[in-house]
């Protein structure tokens, strides 16, 4: 895997800031683990959040970002659970992919209740798209075609089979009324960009991915977004995408980005971090980062977030059982 | 004409004191990163990203710094390949095949100069290609779907036979070992872990950098410990940097190989996912096919170093094409560069050339400039870098060990990878003892996964119809090249050579 080559070391930021916190707990030498190599979504989450927290002086000193790749995040998860269970100065980047893998038992021996879920910093909503030359104009048309002749449509996405890009299509298909979702042809590529390229080349007929992955191609008019899997239309430049709901298909697929912290973190520290993330979320600076990177609003923290993750783990588990990925 | 105007605008972006200084620093650091085994262009670029952030550089300046490091590493990788038979980074793997034999013959200086010229030539070809063809080249990349990639990788494997050893059985065994390594990890097409023994560390597969550094650098350390007395004497005698300037005749002789290597490399580079390793690999095997008339390859033929070096540098430039125009990284390093651009709020893709011309053209101008700096750094000043690598082995080997460990740990922050690296070191040592070539093992590990996933993607798309692999024009061309160039010679090769032998005997 060529693109696994990517790698990184530590961030050497030299920002000296003053603390303004009023909590009993005060983070010192905080660290953010990105459970993957440099360049991916988790790495971006750690670095952008770390930098914003520093710039806004929501934490004192600087946030150290450590890349701990392996096992699709499983290595970092095991490390946090086994070795750093009581670390009050540690946050770890997570996303829907983390929940998906936990749901499917892809982190051997680990479950979602071994850590505390901190909060989300935004979401990348799923889209389903076709190339500009396609005769298909709406999501129901695409799904009708799949229902009629599943072999005629190959869907490409950036995640592995059973991964989030794949599941999004299945969620939409189920809501449309396709009972045996296993018939849907899904081909996995190395990342969304690769999958879009195959769509442009005409090797596949549909694309499933995130808004941010497809932005460049939507701007250039090469691909046509059939539906975005969000509850309401997205703000700003993405507002032209119709939602699946508008088209009568009640499917929502958000790739959320957020953090978990060690299971043994003290309540004081947990509240400190949840507060810092939530404060940061509401600043102008973070809103700018979100809009430039295609992140849509999703503001959950503390208990709310804990429940949200639990629910999403449960629904992914059900779906994965249905398609025979897990027993 | 328009292109020229854009380029001049680009030079005005690139030629500020700040950007020139950044390019100089980048080229120097890149060469060092490239020359040190275990540290490659991707590490170099990744290490400098936070620095460019904290310096508050804008997008154009950051890209100039980072791509200078990238190009520099592509130059630097050859130095350790040639001098100590350990590839400085993975695309420099093929350069060991003839580069080290040249060193043993006392022609290390010549090899370094020639490869410096080849690298320069390859990079310039790629940069010109990037400049003129980038918007159009998107179309070529689009011609390559899963079926075409499958055919391409079959061709790459068909060429393996001719790579390194005269013993075909050992070469096949070696590539099979490499393929076996590549199957470890979660299978993307079904989501099922394979050969992972329930150990989460194996889920992402084995990073082939671990394999390379283990097999080459660590096994070299074992070999050194084993023969430390003999080796110390031998090396001192042999590694002398003589004739830095090769004869004009040699340059003329190797020039066609540079041209071929550059074109093949650039082509391999623009295919997303193929990358610089495939570029230097194809460049070497084709060159050997064409030029190995007197059986000099693998024994220190100049063309055996110029072709892959031109190839890997051209591929490095080529890999920027899909990265900029499609947002698809063709290699690990371009993946890191892509991430960098995204964080700078620049969306690579079809509109990049239109929306951010200052970044693109500033970058292209800087690449030309960086190439000239690198030519100077790598030819007249190459002694500076070789000094480091020509330390007596008893000092050099501990340094190699240290850098290998730091480099590998830096990739993933995983101590498990270090153990794995030591394992591959022992394994590499064993294979060397058995005279099994290491290069096919590595190529198997690198290309195996790509070949498998593309084949399975193709078969999913076609509902299991194998004829899909022979349907497009591009696939047919690739299959023909494979059959005519590499399969038929295997069958008829012996017959023809014996005929020629007979003919020669008759004559004499």
Residue with tokens 């080849």: B118
Tokens of B281: 């690999």
Judged by a CB distance cut-off of 8 A, whether residue A90 touches chain B is: no
| C-beta atoms surrounding B395 within 10 Å | 9
Between B111 and B498, where is the model more confident? B111
Stretches where chain A sits below pLDDT 50 are 1-22
φ/ψ bin of B351: left (φ > 0), alpha (ψ from -120 to 50), beta (otherwise): alpha
Residue partners of B373: CB distance under 8 A and separation at least 6: B23, B24, B27, B68
Pairing of strands A185-188, A90-95: unpaired
Strand, coil or helix: what is A163? Answer: coil
Indicate the residue of A12, A66, A68 with minimum beta-carbon distance to B50. A12
Per-residue pLDDT tens digits for B306-330? 999 999 899 888 888 877 877 766 6
A-chain CB neighbours of B207 within 8 Å are 4-5
Please name every residue paired with A243 in a beta bridge, in sequence order, or none if there are none: A228
Is B273 within 8 Å of A2 when comparing Cβ atoms? yes
Between B60 and B339, where is the model more confident? B60
Put simply, whether the predicted model's pTM sits higher than 0.90 gets the answer no
Judged by a CB distance cut-off of 8 A, whether residue A48 touches chain B is: yes
C-alpha to C-alpha distance for A75 and A107, rounded to whole angstroms: 8
Residue partners of A39: CB distance under 8 A and separation at least 6: A6, A8, B335, B336, B338, B339
Is B343 within 8 Å of A48 when comparing Cβ atoms? yes
Give the containing element (helix H, strand E) for A224: strand A223-228
Per-residue pLDDT tens digits for B218-248? 888 888 888 776 655 555 444 555 556 677 8
Question: Which alpha helices (H) appear in B144-247, and where do they start and end?
Answer: 146-160, 168-182, 208-212, 219-226, 228-238
DSSP string, B63-128: HHHHHHHHHHHHHHHHHHHHHHS--SSGGGGGHHHHHHHHHHTT-HHHHHHHHHHHHHHHHHHHHH
Q: What is the SS3 string spanning B273-294?
A: CCHHHHHHHHHHHHHHHHHHHH
Provide CATH code, domain A2-123+255-322. Answer: 3.40.190.150
Per-residue pLDDT tens digits for B2-43? 777 888 888 887 788 888 899 999 999 888 888 877 677 777
Per-residue pLDDT tens digits for A45-92? 898 898 899 888 888 878 888 888 777 888 889 889 988 999 999 999
Residue range B93-100: average pLDDT?
A: 88
Judged by a CB distance cut-off of 8 A, whether residue A222 touches chain B is: yes
Question: Where residue B494 falls among pLDDT bands split at 50, 70, 90?
Answer: low
C-alpha to C-alpha distance for A150 and B421, rounded to whole angstroms: 45
Where do you find CATH 3.40.190.10 in chain A? 131-247
**pLDDT at B492 > cutoff 90:** no
All structural domains of chain B with their residue ranges: 2-471
B-chain CB neighbours of A203 within 8 Å are 145-147, 461
Where do you find CATH 3.40.190.150 in chain A? 2-123+255-322
Judged by a CB distance cut-off of 8 A, whether residue A242 touches chain B is: no
C-alpha to C-alpha distance for B84 and A2, rounded to whole angstroms: 26
Residue B65 CA, distance from chain mean position? 21
In terms of CATH architecture, what is A131-247?
A: 3-Layer(aba) Sandwich (3.40)
Pairing of strands B185-187, A154-157: unpaired
């Amino acid at each position: 895997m060529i693109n696994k080559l990517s790698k990184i070391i530590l961030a050497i930021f030299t920002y000296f800031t003053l603390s303004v916190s009023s909590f009993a707990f005060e983070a010192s030498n905080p660290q953010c683990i990105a459970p993957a190599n440099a360049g991916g979504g988790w790495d971006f989450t750690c670095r952008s959040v770390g930098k914003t927290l520093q710039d806004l002086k929501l934490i004192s000193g600087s946030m150290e970002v450590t890349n701990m790749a392996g096992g699709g995040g499983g290595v970092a998860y095991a490390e946090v659970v086994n070795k750093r269970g009581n670390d009050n100065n540690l946050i770890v980047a997570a996303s829907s992919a983390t929940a998906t893998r936990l749901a499917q038992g892809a982190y051997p021996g680990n479950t979602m209740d071994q850590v505390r879920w901190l909060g989300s910093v935004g979401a990348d909503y799923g889209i389903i798209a076709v190339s500009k030359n396609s005769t298909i104009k709406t999501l129901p048309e695409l799904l009708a075609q799949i229902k009629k002749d599943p072999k005629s449509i190959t869907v490409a996405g950036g995640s592995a089979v059973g991964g989030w890009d794949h599941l999004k299509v299945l969620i939409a298909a189920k809501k449309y009324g396709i009972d045996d979702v296993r018939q849907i042809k899904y081909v996995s590529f190395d990342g969304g960009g690769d999958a879009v390229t195959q769509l442009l080349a005409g090797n596949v007929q549909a694309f499933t991915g995130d808004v941010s992955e497809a932005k460049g191609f939507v701007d250039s008019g090469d691909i046509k977004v059939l539906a975005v899997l969000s509850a309401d239309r997205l703000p700003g430049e993405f507002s032209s995408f119709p939602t699946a709901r508008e088209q009568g298909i009640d499917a929502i697929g958000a790739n959320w980005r957020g953090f978990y912290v060690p299971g043994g973190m003290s309540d004081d520290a947990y509240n400190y971090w949840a507060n810092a993330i939530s404060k940061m979320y509401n600043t102008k600076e973070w809103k700018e980062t979100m809009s430039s990177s295609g992140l849509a609003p999703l503001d959950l923290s503390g208990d709310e977030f804990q429940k949200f993750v639990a629910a999403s783990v449960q629904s992914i588990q059900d779906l994965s059982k249905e398609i025979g990925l897990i027993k | 004409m328009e292109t020229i105007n854009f380029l001049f605008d680009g030079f005005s972006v690139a030629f500020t004191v700040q950007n020139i200084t950044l390019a100089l620093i980048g080229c120097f650091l890149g060469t060092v990163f490239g020359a040190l085994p275990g540290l490659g262009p991707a590490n170099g670029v990744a290490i400098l990203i936070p620095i460019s952030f904290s310096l508050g550089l804008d997008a154009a300046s950051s890209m100039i710094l980072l791509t200078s490091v990238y190009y520099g590493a592509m130059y630097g990788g050859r130095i350790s390949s040639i001098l100590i038979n350990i590839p400085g980074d993975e695309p420099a793997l093929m350069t060991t095949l003839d580069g080290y034999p040249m060193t043993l013959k006392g022609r290390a200086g010549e090899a370094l100069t020639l490869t410096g010229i080849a690298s320069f030539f390859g990079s310039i070809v790629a940069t010109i290609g990037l400049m003129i063809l980038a918007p159009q080249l998107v179309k070529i990349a689009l011609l390559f779907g899963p079926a075409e990639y499958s055919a391409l990788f079959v061709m790459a494997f068909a060429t393996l036979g001719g790579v390194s050893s005269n013993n075909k059985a050992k070469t096949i065994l070696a590539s099979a070992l490499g393929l076996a390594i590549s199957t470890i990890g979660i299978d993307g097409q079904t989501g099922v872990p394979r050969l992972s023994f329930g150990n989460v560390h194996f889920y992402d597969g084995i990073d082939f950098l671990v394999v390379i550094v283990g097999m080459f650098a660590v096994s070299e350390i074992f070999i050194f410990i084993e023969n430390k007395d003999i080796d110390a004497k031998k090396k001192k005698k042999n590694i002398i940097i003589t004739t830095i300037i090769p004869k004009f005749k040699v340059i003329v002789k190797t020039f066609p190989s540079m041209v071929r290597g550059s074109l093949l490399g650039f082509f391999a580079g623009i295919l997303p996912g193929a990358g610089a390793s495939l570029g230097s690999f194809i460049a070497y095997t084709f060159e050997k096919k064409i030029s190995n008339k007197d059986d000099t390859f693998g024994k220190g033929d100049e063309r055996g170093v110029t072709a892959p070096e031109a190839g890997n540098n051209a591929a490095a430039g080529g890999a920027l094409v899909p990265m900029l125009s499609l947002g698809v990284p063709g290699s690990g390093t371009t993946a890191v560069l892509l991430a960098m651009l995204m964080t700078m709020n620049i969306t690579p893709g079809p509109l990049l050339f239109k929306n951010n011309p200052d970044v693109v053209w500033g970058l292209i101008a800087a690449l030309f400039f960086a190439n000239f700096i690198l030519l100077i750094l790598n030819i007249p000043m190459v002694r500076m870098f070789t000094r480091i690598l020509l330390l007596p082995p008893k000092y050099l080997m501990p340094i190699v060990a240290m850098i290998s460990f730091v480099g590998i740990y830096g990739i993933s922050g995983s101590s498990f990878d270090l153990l794995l690296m030591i394992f591959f070191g022992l394994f590499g040592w064993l294979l060397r003892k058995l005279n099994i070539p290491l290069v096919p093992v590595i190529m198997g590990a690198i290309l195996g996964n790509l070949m498998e996933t593309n084949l399975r993607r193709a078969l999913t798309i076609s509902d299991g119809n194998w004829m899909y692999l022979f349907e497009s024009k591009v696939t047919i061309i690739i299959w023909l090249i494979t059959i005519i160039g590499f399969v038929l010679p295997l069958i008829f090769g012996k017959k023809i050579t014996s005929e020629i032998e007979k003919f020669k005997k008759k004559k004499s």
